[in-house]
Amino acid sequence: MRLSVTCGRLVDPASGLDQVTDLHLADGRVVALGEPPEGFVPEQVLDAAGLLVLPGIVDLGVSLPEPGGGRHASLRSEAPAAARGGITTLIGLPDTTPVIDNPAVVELIHQRADAAGGARVLCSGALTQGLMGERLADMATLRDIGCVAVSNARSPIVDSRVLRCALEYAATVGVTVLLFPAEAGLADGVVHEGAVGARLGLPGVPETAETIALARALLLVEASGARVHFCRISSARGAQMVAEARDRGLPVSADVSINHLWLDETAVEGFDTSARLDPPLRAAADRQALRAALADGGIDLVCSDHRALDADARLAPFSEAPPGASGVDLLLPLTLELVEEGLLSLSRAVEALTGAATLLGLPGGSLSPGAVADLALVDPDAEWLASPETLASAGSNTPFLGRDLRGRCVATLIEGEVVWQAGADWSARTP
């Protein structure tokens, strides 16, 4: 398939590109910017005048609904929903049922993802068998079957000896470890340990639940040489610790969820279960520090931390409600709003949304000639309201319902093929 995207504003942090020009694709890859190659005749032209043309978003650490997910959400709902949000690659956590700790589960997920269409779905394999934190999973086999990283998801590894051995094994086989820093003995609450939680009478999770786990992991990274990415940093001190470790030369990186960049502990007022997250929303000072860390690169990536839940999951009492929020529809517009506020440059915002490709050596993340043609065409001026009717995900469990948003994906391409397109907001024609 030969395709040209014309007159769009191309933004590619990987190459420093930011200009209005044309982009030409063939055989699933970018072949030229500006003038087409000699003899290139496109079969289709996408008119991107007034649109942003970005590398497709790579969303790191999504809770997959299959196998063993909820009654309503499935890969058939969530992978296309992600594509509508400009996401071309989802990286699923291994906390499915059954756990992604053997090749059969990986193959099943890949088969269902292929049938679902929409965003590309990749897996992270389990760090320990059954995520039990006791015996190491066969990371080499999981890597060879297609897992792009290994993780124990949100199941903490209590035994430091096991974590040390896991990091050493991961370093030996050359696979990146995704760690959620949480000290098990301190992380058994449901909200941030602060004034709001105390007033509501809810058990709290102190900042030290994150920082103690980070301190242990960083010491083991230094000893093992493992490449570790810390998922969902939620505190100012946590962000500082990761940045300091990287400055010392440790092979570490980190991400933050879009929820923690916009909300703080006050969002749970009224026992609002849509703001029941893990890690919990913390103090306003933490939120400001996370924003600053993302802006200056102390935190590398922003992600949706997507988990689609059935509607009745939010009807339980706060302490019994499962944590998580639907986010694939909202990641792009809420990040663009940080650009509109002046917190991030557009280039830095795109880098934070797509940098997981570089981190894990995945397709996409660039518009340079030769790169895989994963693209998002975005109308930065489109205004819309977040509601169950406008969200494509089967889960409308989000604290952002009712929020006015600005910026929306109007077309998504994966390997040069259009997998999502809006209606009359853009033009696709055959020359």
Q: Which positions are catalytic?
A: 305
User: Residue 151 pairs with which residues in a beta bridge?
Assistant: 126, 178
